[in-house]
Amino acid sequence: MTPRLYNYDLDAECYRVRLVASVVGIPLDIVGLDVFPGHDHLTDAMLALNPAGRLPVLVDGPLVLTQVPAILWHLASRADATPGLIPAAPAITLEWLGFAMGDLASATTARNAAMLGQGDPVAPRRAARAALRRLDDHMIRAGIAGHGFVAGDRLSLADLALFPAFALSRDFGVDHDEFAALRLWARRVRAVPGFITMPGIPDYH
């Protein structure tokens, strides 16, 4: 059965799901919603799936998932998924997945504030820049150790979860030139088989 994704094309969280699904070779039945200005995600039908009124929502048979980490993990661990995104010892991958959804959640807040006028972007922009600095510092150390990805020498689920926050950071006023190590890492992520992009994500040269 093809999983169904309730999706808004310009939403970074929805893009995370589409990206992971594409890399692991899982086709999605994508239901496009008009979040802004249409508020389709707040209809009675959508609130029945996710009372919190947020996207993405993934329906896979009887399973309804509304939390991004659970959705990403589910797709990467399906029996028909291309293996490799979840290593045999997943603790480091889980650590950085948590960082993507925790410390870097400020990037989504800053982007929504800057693009949709949902609040003041100043504080979340500052928090997102600080989190990206920590990630850039980590990638510098990883490079010294001979590793090209956040959890080691090969792509993991963590890389794909982290990528949108950096790739879309210019939308909320954070210049990519501040983060040389992340620019190199982003080029590696873009080169993986199955990579897909979304509006606002630049090429890296």
Identify the pLDDT of residue 19.
98
103: exposed, middle or buried (Cβ count in 10 Å: 0-12, 13-18, 19+)? middle
What is the pLDDT at residue 203? 79
Q: How far apart are CA 82 and CA 36, in angstroms?
A: 34
Can you tell me the distance from the alpha carbon of 57 to that of 17, in angstroms, rounded to the nearest whole number?
Answer: 10
The predicted-structure confidence for 139-161, as pLDDT tens digits, reads as follows 999 999 999 999 999 999 999 99
Could you read off the pLDDT of 106-143 as tens digits, one per residue?
Answer: 999 999 999 878 788 899 999 999 999 999 999 999 99
pLDDT tens for each residue of 185-198 = 999 999 999 999 99
Closest CA to 162 of 188, 198, 146, 186: 186
Instruction: Please say whether the dihedral angle defined by the alpha carbons of residues 140, 94, 49 and 28, taken in this order, is positive or negative.
Output: positive
Report domain 4-77's class. Answer: alpha beta
Q: What's the CATH number for 91-190?
A: 1.20.1050.10
Residues of the chain with CATH 1.20.1050.10: 91-190
| Banded pLDDT at 204 (limits 50, 70, 90) | low
Strand order in the sheet with 29-32: 29-32, 4-7, 57-60, 63-65
Neighbours of 28 (CB within 10 A): 17
Query: Which residues in the chain are classed under CATH 3.40.30.10?
Result: 4-77
Phi-psi region of 72 (alpha: psi -120 to 50; beta: other; left: phi over 0): alpha
Q: What per-residue string of b and e applies to 168-187 under the rule 16 or more CB within 10 Å gives b? A: bbebbebebeebebbbebbe
Q: How far apart are the first and last CA of the chain?
A: 39
Q: How far apart are CA 173 and CA 198, in angstroms?
A: 18
Q: Over the stretch 6-47, which tens digit does the pLDDT of each residue have? A: 999 999 999 999 999 999 999 999 999 999 888 999 999 999
Given this model, what pLDDT does residue 119 score?
84
